[in-house]
Amino acid sequence: MNKLLLASFLLVPILLSTTPDAYAVVGSFFLTGHDPDFHATLGSNAPGAQNIINSAVTFTTDPNFNTFKAGGVDKFLFVESNIQVPGGHTIGKNGIVAAGFVEGVDFEHHDASTLDAELNMLGTKYNMIFVASDFGGILTQAELDILIARSGDIISFLNSGGGLVALAESNNGAGLTPDGGQFGFLPFVVSSTAFDQTEVGNTVTPFGASLGLTNADVNGNASHNIFVDTFGLEIVDEDDENPPNILSLAGRGVVDDGGVKPEPPVVVGGEFLPIETTSLLLTSAQTFSWMIPVVLSVVGIGLFVVSRKS
């Protein structure tokens, strides 16, 4: 037998067993100008606000993409102050609970007094960071400043497969973030604009619909900031201005200096597949991929033995 052919049979299993996964680990993001932490308990459309919260958490903690959730880390870190609630605001944590999440089981709540220490446990204790709104929730400058100071650690966590949800930041209402830096823990979000609106005529994009959201969910309450760019993410919903303003963004990708570099689409049979379909195919492939090196090793050894006998 040709020695080169025989060597290839012996070498292929080794390459298959040592080649890194072709699909890079990416973070999952959901950013919105809505404040569903407020409206999940107050306002005219509590079910819609609750569905925004649930859709955001489901997307950012999907174990097919969130490596920490897949590894058994089940809690997320909810960031909000414990100050006396100003008029026009409410405790955003109550909205998280109204959406069906149990404090101590599904999430832990930390304010500025403990937040810095808890950020050291991203990936070991927490699979996702959930940042409350500064109106009508009660995120304050103290929590925001800590998040900004730890931006590098947050980005590393996201690029390792963690998740992030951040609700409206505008300094509206009682002005709880007067020094600015809204969404500053994500340096690629170079600008967001305070823009209080009654939610009328908002529309969910096809991408937003794929997250489980409907037009009914994003209307009937209020929103408090818009985004002036996509930063590499997908638009979830827009208002009815001409041209429309971006109300929410979401997506998966790796953060670099220029923003979020989206996960590249996967081509199967010459056709681009959406993330949902791709994840199913990859899961099925991974289930059997460990067998390939074993089978090829057996074939290679068999051929080697036959060659030796010849």
pLDDT in tens, 153-200: 999 999 999 999 999 999 999 999 999 999 999 988 877 899 999 999
The pairing of beta strand 27-32 with beta strand 246-256? antiparallel
User: What pLDDT does residue 264 have?
Assistant: 58
10-residue averages of pLDDT along the chain (310 residues): 43 36 74 98 97 98 97 98 98 98 98 98 98 98 98 97 98 97 91 91 98 98 96 96 97 86 51 38 40 46 45
Locate 172 and state its tokens: 């509206």
User: What pLDDT does residue 19 have?
Assistant: 33
User: What pLDDT does residue 36 have?
Assistant: 98
Residue 141 and residue 189 in one domain: yes
Determine which helix (DSSP H) or strand (DSSP E) holds 108, and give its type and residue range.
Answer: strand 107-110
Residue 88 and residue 183 in one domain: yes
User: What pLDDT does residue 231 have?
Assistant: 93
How does DSSP classify residue 122?
B
Q: List helix spans (H) across the chain.
A: 3-18, 36-39, 46-60, 67-70, 92-98, 115-119, 141-149, 151-159, 206-210, 275-289, 291-309
Tokens 């870190």 correspond to 77
User: What pLDDT does residue 254 have?
Assistant: 94
Residue 182 and residue 77 in one domain: yes
- Phi and psi of 153, rounded to 5°? -70, -35
Residue 124 and residue 228 in one domain: yes
Residue 13 and residue 33 in one domain: no
Residue 153 and residue 245 in one domain: yes
Residue 156 and residue 301 in one domain: no
Residue 208 and residue 291 in one domain: no
Residue 16 and residue 39 in one domain: no
Which residue, among 165, 14, 159, 11, has the nearest Cα to 79 in the 3D structure?
Answer: 165
Residues 6+ apart with CB under 8 A from 101: 53, 57, 107
Locate 4 and state its tokens: 């080169």
Residue 43 and residue 133 in one domain: yes
Locate 171 and state its tokens: 């300094």
What is the number of residues in the chain? 310
Locate 278 and state its tokens: 């791709």
| Angle CA 252–64–205, to nearest 5 | 45
Which residue, among 53, 205, 74, 211, has the nearest Cα to 133 in the 3D structure?
Answer: 53
Cβ contact 53:99 at 8 Å: yes
Which residue, among 64, 238, 56, has the nearest Cα to 131 in the 3D structure?
Answer: 56
Tokens 């919903």 correspond to 237
d(CA 92, CA 131) in angstroms, rounded, equals 10
Within 10 angstroms of residue 223's Cβ, the number of other Cβ atoms is 27
Which residue range(s) make up the domain with 274?
3-21+268-309
d(CA 140, CA 81) in angstroms, rounded, equals 6
User: What pLDDT does residue 262 have?
Assistant: 81
Residue 100 and residue 115 in one domain: yes
SS3 of 184, please?
coil
User: What pLDDT does residue 24 have?
Assistant: 60
Residue 192 and residue 286 in one domain: no
The structural domain count of the chain equals: 2
Residues 6+ apart with CB under 8 A from 290: none
